[in-house]
Amino acid sequence: MLFGRFTTTLGLCLLLLAQPAASASPGLTEALAARLANAPAEVLGFDSQEISMAAEDRELYAVYHEFAMQPLWVSDVGTGIHARALVDAISDARSHGLYPRDYHLDALQEAWDARQAEELARLDILLTLALLAWVNDISNGREQPRASHPDLFAEAGTGRADPVQVVRDFLAAGDPAKYLDALHPQHYYYRNLRNALPRYQALVASGGWPQVSTGATLHPGDSDPRVAALRRRLAVTGEYTGAEMISEVFDPELVEAVTRFQFYHGLAPDGVAGAQTVAALNVSAASRLRQIEINMERWRWMSHDLGNPHVMVDIAGFDVQAVLDDKPRLEMRAIVGKLHHETPVFSDRIRYIEFNPYWNLTPSIARHETIPRIRKDPNYLESKHIRVFDGWGWDAKELDPRSVDWNNVSNPGRFKFRQDPGPWNALGTMKFIFPNEHSVYLHDTPNHDLFARAARSFSHGCIRLSEPADLAAWILQFNDDDTRWSMEDIQAVLDSQERTVKNLSRPMDVHLTYETAWVDMEGALHFAADIYSRDQRLEQALYAGDGAP
Provide the residue type at 7 as one letter.
Answer: T
**Neighbouring C-beta atoms of residue 115, cutoff 10 Å:** 10
| CA 160 – CA 181 distance, rounded (Å) | 19
Rounded to the nearest 5 percent, the helix, strand and coil shares of the chain are 45, 15, 40
Which entry of 104, 443, 460, 511 is annotated as an active-site residue?
443
CA–chain centroid gap for 231, Å, is 33
Burial label for 410, CB within 10 Å (0-12, 13-18, 19+), is: exposed
Taking alpha carbons only, the member of 81, 180, 177 closest to residue 136 is: 180
Sign of the Cα torsion 372, 378, 383, 388 reads positive
Taking alpha carbons only, the member of 345, 406, 344 closest to residue 381 is: 406
| CA 225 – CA 240 distance, rounded (Å) | 17
Residue 499: CB partners within 8 Å, gap ≥ 6?
354, 355, 356, 357, 358, 421
| CA 385 – CA 118 distance, rounded (Å) | 81
193 and 518 in contact (C-beta within 8 Å)?
yes
Taking alpha carbons only, the member of 280, 273, 265 closest to residue 228 is: 273
Directed axis angle between helix 117-140 and helix 285-301, to 10°? Answer: 90
| CA 4 – CA 14 distance, rounded (Å) | 15
Tell me whether residue 443 is one of the annotated catalytic residues: yes
Cis check for the bond before 446: say yes or no (omega within 30 of 0): no
Tell me whether residue 187 is one of the annotated catalytic residues: no
CA–chain centroid gap for 109, Å, is 33
Q: How many CA atoms lie within 13 A of 400 on its CB side?
A: 2
254-262 CB contacts, 8 Å cutoff, 24+ apart? 254/227, 254/230, 255/220, 257/231, 258/230, 258/234, 261/234, 261/237, 262/454
409 and 370 in contact (C-beta within 8 Å)?
no
Which entry of 104, 184, 310, 462 is annotated as an active-site residue?
462
Q: Could you give the residue numbers annotated as active site?
A: 443, 462
